[in-house]
Chain A
């Protein structure tokens, strides 16, 4: 069996080389963010900086406004997660456990919203938000993100709640709990694993979203999120390679760190979507 062990390690080595190639852009990015402006060019492919220049980070964080963009992105992402868990949990609960008039219609509309391209909805969203004064506000961004394409989260909740035993509501009813208390104090806490998955997926989607914060902050640069700020930064500082690299590293680091800790929920969530 020596041959098969040999081939196993050949495969591992080939895969490891592929992974290095795959992650190279990010390694290059971190390296460039610590180099001097001229060093990025003069040292070419050498990834080790002469000395670690943290001033690129100071420049991006303070001067270029990425501290503000970071605060905006965190507020928008956390706000969206709370609102999405609140509304998709409620809907998933009644869809998963109850028959009612119009249930088929609700499911049909949810399924249809899954394939509506953002290009179709963005113009009326901006017009409506402008009419009610939500356009240059973080609240507007949160509401628009929470109301766009959340069918997958609803289906995750519905699937989970469907599997819980019927006796749960009956015993809660005997204790005199109303629908709302039953849901918020018994059912929602039981759905912890789904809440974790939905929160992780929603957080990443909100953090990475671009078009909605872009069009909502045309008139309010101080409300830009990280990706919107990034585009603005390179538009006016095209030649500042190390500043660009520091700004991009600042923007990506939280979401990458978050992913490493929450990987399990993420992988379960997307794998579950296919298996159904």
Chain B
């Protein structure tokens, strides 16, 4: 099949069936992801008090107001705590479990399934259920604590403003740990077994093998798993809305709840202001992801050259 060289338009016309194949995805993603992202950018420059109202162009006024809103920085800080505390906790604990489960132990499949169970459950329902499990008067956790004498008096895990965010972080790690364990187990299986055998002949201890062989070889996976987990940590709306609704006194309010509160719950919605908060956070997330991807690419190149 010899084809004469074609112009760009000619090639597009010849491949028209390809674009027809792309049409459904283009429409769906265009309407429900790409357009909304661009529209949000425009909305963030408007002052609008409801769906269907036109709104007035106010330039960067919403962003200026955000910068001076302590509740916005509170939500931003809570999301950051999720990224800086919950992500390392989940990634680290999962690695430890994966190393243990990767050894040829009996019943490994059952144990893995058990750890994985919370992952498949609905986050919004887990949030509701955990309110009852952690209830200070009748919840089983507090019953255990009081009957074993581990705590005197009820611990109000979710009603105490200085404790609630950490309770939420613990629940989030519990809920999603299983999926990170699977990631790590997949990563561990890429390490050739003969490396460990050689180290054993040289008399290396289990700890030495872990630090000298496992950790260095896992570096590229560590970066990608951390990136995936960090993106997860910015999507905790379902769990937190149902668990604490952002309370008490905004102590567990993350960015998405801040946006939701201003756009969908407030008596007078502030769509422009909510969009500005979402946009600002989206830009921060994108920049952070971009930096991480560039770092990964750099390490990849260096690894390739070595």
Task: Please tell me if the beta carbons of B129 and A29 are within 8 angstroms of each other in the complex.
Answer: yes
Task: Please tell me if the beta carbons of A252 and B225 are within 8 angstroms of each other in the complex.
Answer: no
Task: Please tell me if the beta carbons of B147 and A120 are within 8 angstroms of each other in the complex.
Answer: no
Residues of chain B lying within 8 A (CB to CB) of residue A71:
none
Residues of chain A lying within 8 A (CB to CB) of residue B113:
260, 263
Binds B, one of A40-48, A52-60, A189-197: A40-48
| A168 lies within 8 A of chain B by Cβ | no
Residues of chain B lying within 8 A (CB to CB) of residue A119:
237, 255-256, 259-260, 277-278, 281-282
A74 to B103, CA, bound (A): 39
Cβ distance A214 to chain B, nearest Cβ, rounded Å: 8
A22 to B274, CA, bound (A): 37
For B130, B187, B264, the residue with the greatest tally of chain A CB atoms inside 10 Å of its CB is: B264
Within 8 A of B (CB), among A240-256: 241, 244-245, 248, 251-252, 255-256
Return the contact of B129 from the options A143, A211, A248 (Cβ within 8 A): A248
Chain A's interface size range is: 35 or more
Q: A117-B285, A119-B281 are in contact. Are A274 and B274 (CB under 8 A)?
A: no
In the complex formed, the residue of B with least CB distance to A238 is: B131
| A186 lies within 8 A of chain B by Cβ | no
Return the contact of B32 from the options A93, A121, A260 (Cβ within 8 A): A121
Q: A123-B40, A130-B51 are in contact. Are A143 and B32 (CB under 8 A)?
A: yes
Task: Please tell me if the beta carbons of B29 and A113 are within 8 angstroms of each other in the complex.
Answer: yes
Residues of chain A lying within 8 A (CB to CB) of residue B110:
19
The digit string for B68-111, where 1 denotes a CB below 8 A from any CB of A, is 00000000000000000000000000000000110101110011
Cβ distance A236 to chain B, nearest Cβ, rounded Å: 13
A125 to B37, CA, bound (A): 10
Return the contact of A91 from the options B22, B31, B103, B143 (Cβ within 8 A): B22
Task: Please tell me if the beta carbons of A101 and B21 are within 8 angstroms of each other in the complex.
Answer: no
A248 to B39, CA, bound (A): 37
Cβ distance A195 to chain B, nearest Cβ, rounded Å: 16
A175 to B24, CA, bound (A): 27
In the complex formed, the residue of B with least CB distance to A26 is: B117
Cβ distance B239 to chain A, nearest Cβ, rounded Å: 9
A93 to B101, CA, bound (A): 36
> Could you list 28 examples of A-B contacts with CB < 8 Å?
A11-B105, A12-B107, A16-B107, A19-B115, A22-B174, A25-B129, A29-B129, A45-B144, A90-B24, A91-B21, A94-B18, A110-B29, A120-B37, A121-B40, A122-B278, A124-B39, A147-B31, A150-B25, A210-B123, A211-B256, A230-B242, A244-B128, A248-B128, A252-B125, A274-B221, A274-B224, A274-B225, A274-B228
Closest 7 pairs between A and B when the two form their complex, measured CB to CB? A147-B32, A19-B114, A147-B28, A121-B36, A227-B124, A271-B186, A124-B36
